[in-house]
Amino acid sequence: MNKKSSWEKSTCAYCGVGCGIKSRFNNDGQLEIKGDEQHPTNKGKLCAKALTLSETLTTNNRMLTPQILNKPVSWNQALNETANQLQNIIDSYGPDAVAFYVSGQLLTEDYYVINKLAKGFVGTANIDTNSRLCMSSAVAGHQRAFGEDCVAGCYDDLEAAEVVILTGSNLAWCHPVLFQRLKQAQQQHNTKIVVIDPRHTASCEIADLHLSITPGSDVALFNGLLSYLHTNDYVDQHYIDAHTNNITAALTTATALDLQQVSQLTGINEQQLHTFYQLFATHSRTVTLYSQGVNQSVSGTDKVNAIINCHLATGRIGKVGASAFSITGQPNAMGGREVGGLATTLAAHLSFERHDHWQLLSDFWQTDKLVTKPGLKAVDMFDTIANGSIKAVWIIATNPAASLPNSNKINQALAQCPCVIVSDCVDNNDTLRHATIKLPAQGWSEKSGTVTNSERCISRQRRLVPTQGEAKPDWWIITQVAQRMGFERQFNYINEAQIFAEHVALTATNNHPTQSPRLLNLSGLRHLTANDYDHLLPQQWPINSDGISHQRLFSDGIFPTQDGRACFIATPYRPAITQASADYPLLLNTGRIRDQWHTMTRTGLVASLADHIQQPFISIHPTDANHYQVINNQLVTVTSHYGEAIFRVRITTDVKPQQVFIAIHWTQQTSSAGSVCALIGEQRDPISGQPQYKAAAVQLSPLTYTTDAILTTTTTIALTELSASTALYWVCKKVAAGYQYFISSNLSSSALEKILMAHFMHSMQHDLRTITHNSRRAVVFNNNRCLASVVIHPHNSHHYSTTSANIIGNEVNDIEVHQFLNGEDKLASSDIVCVCKQITKQQLIDTIASNKVQDLSTLSRITTAGTGCGGCCTEIDILLNTTNVN
């Protein structure tokens, strides 16, 4: 019998909250994962995504060997070929003919070496990252206001605040553990919470006030606030005089709009505006937390500064419970910003604009090739790949074919690019289809290094399990290629600790507390040995030699600008570039759902996470549904100027009339046409270059088809064959013992059944079938094990239902098979609300009704729902409020 191993600490693979986990192998050899009670971020709590991480450690779709043109090769061949191809292109066309597109999911050490290679040794600043799509407006806003890209506050501020404003953030679903902390604080000291979001989201469940603003109008809202604070004497004049510049320009712009105009632009009535402005004005401990509803906009940077202006005007920056707080998305978006992974920064918060910074870095790296000006930002980089000027791109830990705007164009650009090198953990995603060289990287649990979370806390990610196949650490792959390009000496690291030490040294070089310091300073870690690094405890930067904790920045009102003062920025209101038109009358907003992560390469492997929301959907208001004559679960084609895609209708008042919402997660690997980025245009913020993902003009029309089918199998099926043989549309979802395919077709039920049986169930020996007037059901099994099932019925949107996958992969259980064949399978037509305990919406509704349950704790006691990670509690609250108990 195996013996339990001891607990090893690391950090979660997913979001920028940066929770600490601990893991060990249990007696069955399975990896157990728990929250780390000692990690300052989460103190033991985790969300459902983290709790199911061990289920993602599978060989399923794992890239196991390097490949050139999809043929397995040795590492030596792959690395030589990568180095040769890059070098040949550089020799023929110059360094700017190559580009690097990387990710906030890399570790700091990986990020440091790829940035060093590109900017310092290849001599191109064409290195950008998916943080361009995510954090670049916040970065630009911080630089304009504070002189450096720094988050002033910390998570404790959310608990210490009297008022918390969540703007453009669905914290409940996207940063669940931080949301739990906020919710608990609210219960303890009655924190007032304002949510600013065009949509009604799960985060609204704890809101005292929800401002459902007109998309893109945040600048008007916060300009209105600044004007209100000024006019009604709520500003901190002493702070403004002592610590800031440029208030006059900001005020002139802000006061150009009166309250009535603000109300018109934001769609918020004057009384609600007044309530919000009063709440802000009269509570000195106020935190404004913002995310993609702010950043991903053509006025993203101005939105950030309009918010910061209000905090500067009241002196509420870096004080206990008082800050403007940009929350990061990816686990190491912050680490990437530290090493300088964006095309617009050098490294270690050194700036292109300062010659002394340039000289410092040039000396530190001992190079004469250091780039002198910023490179191409993500969207421009892919435009330049499309026009043929960039001839080689190395993509690491990101899936641009699915996540960049106008994905049809991105796919074309990659398809005709002569050299597409992709380092990834999976063998297949939308981007890897275009790879000429594929390099298998170690993934979370195999890799080792550091990450920095939203509150500047550096934590170790540690190796927890052996590496699969021949995968290697990203830093190793990058440094091996660098060495083969002739930079042996500069990239001769033996482990990740050495790279971290170099990064630390760079942050400390010439960084004197008195002479225009960079706040990113890790000099306190200068003497870290490899062993110290292995045992590094989570800690927030700056980590100066003074040994003082710097939980908050700028508390003393001193900023890292030339004169030490922060800067107000005039932020004129500009309407979103995309306006709905007669051709495209609906405004499309996009974002995340609770249980999936980005393009699903990891969360898509976990059956329980697929149950909350099973298929790509479009949320639409009842009046629009009526106008377009569509009903719940119907499939519709959505078109924009850029492309088209297909979604299932969800009618809901969560969105306003003429606004629709689509989640970002489905790709061509998981659906035939559910990729939302096909619809998104390339409009972007002029300063940060961050795309406007939250406002695209679209049109919709019902999709006509005759037949629906749900095929459940123990093995994956060939998707191209599925598309070619039967399906007008399909979606693939992970279930416990295999996969479930939702198929829509123009074939008749009997024809579809014949084809599905012949193509995807043919090797199976035995089958049972039922045919009724409105459905055909079949189960096939081999040696008493159910291998596949299928349900087919004529399309009738009024009765769309899902079906249980329970029987698949199991020994034949006559009762269950019988139930399935008769359409009585238990899970049919109800989504799972509580993933941890697998409780469906229907079970909860039934329990509420039959037991006359009024409150969450009683419902949790009876059903166990909500007793796992707690991430579903807001949705259970909604059910409690909406279910009739009489």
Ligand X SMILES: Nc1nc2c(c(=O)[nH]1)N[C@H]1C(S)=C(S)[C@@H](COP(=O)(O)OP(=O)(O)OC[C@H]3O[C@@H](n4cnc5c(=O)[nH]c(N)nc54)[C@H](O)[C@@H]3O)O[C@H]1N2
**19: partner contacted, choices ligand SF4, Mo ion, ligand X, none (Cβ within 5-8 A by kind):** ligand SF4
**Per rule CB under 6 A, is residue 870 in the interface with ligand SF4?**
no
- When binding is defined by CB under 5 A, the residue of 95, 329, 524, 557 that contacts Mo ion is 329
**Per rule CB under 6 A, is residue 835 in the interface with ligand X?**
no
**396: partner contacted, choices ligand X, ligand SF4, Mo ion, none (Cβ within 5-8 A by kind):** ligand X
- When binding is defined by CB under 6 A, the residue of 14, 617, 739, 742 that contacts ligand SF4 is 14
Nearest CA to 327 among 204, 455, 503, 142?
455
Residue 359: partners with Cβ closer than 8 Å, 6 or more residues away? none
Nearest CA to 495 among 479, 507, 482, 506?
479
- Give the shortest CB-492-to-ligand X separation in angstroms: 22
Q: In 579-674, which ranges are continuous DSSP H helix?
A: 622-628
- Give the shortest CB-610-to-ligand SF4 separation in angstroms: 16
d(CA 378, CA 372): 19
**Per rule CB under 6 A, is residue 49 in the interface with ligand SF4?**
yes
**Per rule CB under 6 A, is residue 578 in the interface with ligand X?**
no
**177: partner contacted, choices ligand SF4, ligand X, Mo ion, none (Cβ within 5-8 A by kind):** ligand SF4
167 membership: H or E segment, kind and range: strand 163-167
Chain residue at closest Cβ approach to Mo ion: 329
- When binding is defined by CB under 6 A, the residue of 41, 56, 180, 201 that contacts ligand X is 201
**616: partner contacted, choices Mo ion, ligand X, ligand SF4, none (Cβ within 5-8 A by kind):** none
| 123 torsion bin: left (phi>0), alpha (psi -120 to 50), beta (else) | left
Per DSSP, 235 falls in state S
d(CA 758, CA 767): 12
Tell me, by CB under 6 A, how many residues bind ligand SF4.
14
- When binding is defined by CB under 6 A, the residue of 10, 18, 203, 315 that contacts ligand SF4 is 18
- When binding is defined by CB under 6 A, the residue of 95, 198, 336, 738 that contacts ligand X is 198
- Give the shortest CB-237-to-ligand X separation in angstroms: 29
Cα-based distances in Å from 769 to 505, 743, 748, 775, 789: 69, 19, 17, 10, 10
**599: partner contacted, choices Mo ion, ligand X, ligand SF4, none (Cβ within 5-8 A by kind):** ligand X
Per DSSP, 118 falls in state I
**Per rule CB under 6 A, is residue 542 in the interface with ligand SF4?**
no
- Give the shortest CB-828-to-Mo ion separation in angstroms: 35
Instruction: Characterize 324-342 residue by residue with b for buried, 16 or more Cβ atoms within 10 angstroms of its Cβ, and e for exposed.
Output: bbbbbbbbbbbbbbbbbbb
Query: Of 159 and 218, which CB lies nearer to ligand X in the complex structure?
Result: 218
> Residues 224, 257: contact at Cβ < 8 Å?
yes
Query: Of 46 and 676, which CB lies nearer to ligand X in the complex structure?
Result: 676
- When binding is defined by CB under 6 A, the residue of 9, 10, 19, 731 that contacts ligand SF4 is 19
**Per rule CB under 5 A, is residue 341 in the interface with Mo ion?**
no
- Give the shortest CB-454-to-ligand X separation in angstroms: 10
- Give the shortest CB-767-to-ligand X separation in angstroms: 37
Q: Angle 438-444-450 (CA atoms, 0-180°, nearest 5)?
A: 110
Is 697 exposed, middle or buried, given 0-12, 13-18 or 19+ CB atoms closer than 10 A? buried
- Give the shortest CB-179-to-ligand SF4 separation in angstroms: 8
Instruction: Characterize 639-652 residue by residue with b for buried, 16 or more Cβ atoms within 10 angstroms of its Cβ, and e for exposed.
Output: bbebbbbbbbbbbb
Cα-based distances in Å from 463 to 57, 114, 448, 817, 827: 13, 21, 5, 43, 38
Query: Of 676 and 703, which CB lies nearer to ligand X in the complex structure?
Result: 676
Residue 714: partners with Cβ closer than 8 Å, 6 or more residues away? 737, 738, 786, 787, 788, 808, 809
Cα-based distances in Å from 713 to 674, 750, 783: 21, 19, 16
Q: Angle 374-377-378 (CA atoms, 0-180°, nearest 5)?
A: 150
**Per rule CB under 6 A, is residue 409 in the interface with ligand SF4?**
no
Nearest CA to 708 among 774, 610, 611, 761?
774
| Cβ atoms within 10 Å, residue 190 | 9
**173: partner contacted, choices Mo ion, ligand X, ligand SF4, none (Cβ within 5-8 A by kind):** ligand X
Residues 160-179 that bind ligand SF4 (CB under 6 A): 175-177
Residue by residue, DSSP assigns 540-605 as: ESP--TT----SSSSTTS--SSTTS-EE---------S----SSS-EEEEEE--TT--TT-TTGGG
Nearest CA to 16 among 452, 594, 542, 324?
452
- Give the shortest CB-119-to-ligand X separation in angstroms: 20
Query: Of 251 and 680, which CB lies nearer to ligand X in the complex structure?
Result: 680
Q: Hey, which bits of 453-533 come out as E strands?
A: 457-461
Query: Of 134 and 425, which CB lies nearer to Mo ion in the complex structure?
Result: 134
**419: partner contacted, choices Mo ion, ligand SF4, ligand X, none (Cβ within 5-8 A by kind):** none
- When binding is defined by CB under 6 A, the residue of 10, 17, 196, 543 that contacts ligand SF4 is 17
- When binding is defined by CB under 6 A, the residue of 85, 137, 170, 707 that contacts ligand X is 170
Q: How many residues does the chain have?
A: 886
**Per rule CB under 5 A, is residue 134 in the interface with Mo ion?**
yes
Binding mask 123-162 for ligand X (x = CB under 6 A): -------x--xx----------------------------
**677: partner contacted, choices Mo ion, ligand SF4, ligand X, none (Cβ within 5-8 A by kind):** ligand X
Per DSSP, 467 falls in state P
Residue 195 CA, distance from chain mean position: 20
**Per rule CB under 6 A, is residue 602 in the interface with ligand SF4?**
no
Query: Of 595 and 753, which CB lies nearer to ligand SF4 in the complex structure?
Result: 595
d(CA 473, CA 467): 10
Nearest CA to 787 among 760, 814, 769?
760
Q: For 243, how many CA atoms within 13 A lie in the half-sphere containing its CB?
A: 23
Residues 412-451 that bind ligand X (CB under 6 A): 423-426, 429, 441, 443, 447
d(CA 848, CA 868): 19
**Per rule CB under 6 A, is residue 50 in the interface with ligand SF4?**
yes
Tell me, by CB under 5 A, how many residues bind Mo ion.
2
- Give the shortest CB-215-to-ligand X separation in angstroms: 4
- Give the shortest CB-664-to-ligand SF4 separation in angstroms: 16
**Per rule CB under 6 A, is residue 647 in the interface with ligand SF4?**
no
- Give the shortest CB-330-to-Mo ion separation in angstroms: 5
Binding-site ranges for Mo ion (CB under 5 A): 134, 329
Name the site residues for ligand X (rule: CB under 6 A): 15, 103, 105, 130, 133-134, 167-170, 173-174, 196-199, 201, 213, 215-216, 218, 291-294, 296, 329-330, 396-400, 402-403, 423-426, 429, 441, 443, 447, 474, 589-592, 594, 596-599, 601, 664, 676-677, 680, 693-694
* Binding residues vs ligand SF4 (CB under 6 A): 12, 14-15, 17-19, 42, 46-47, 49-50, 175-177
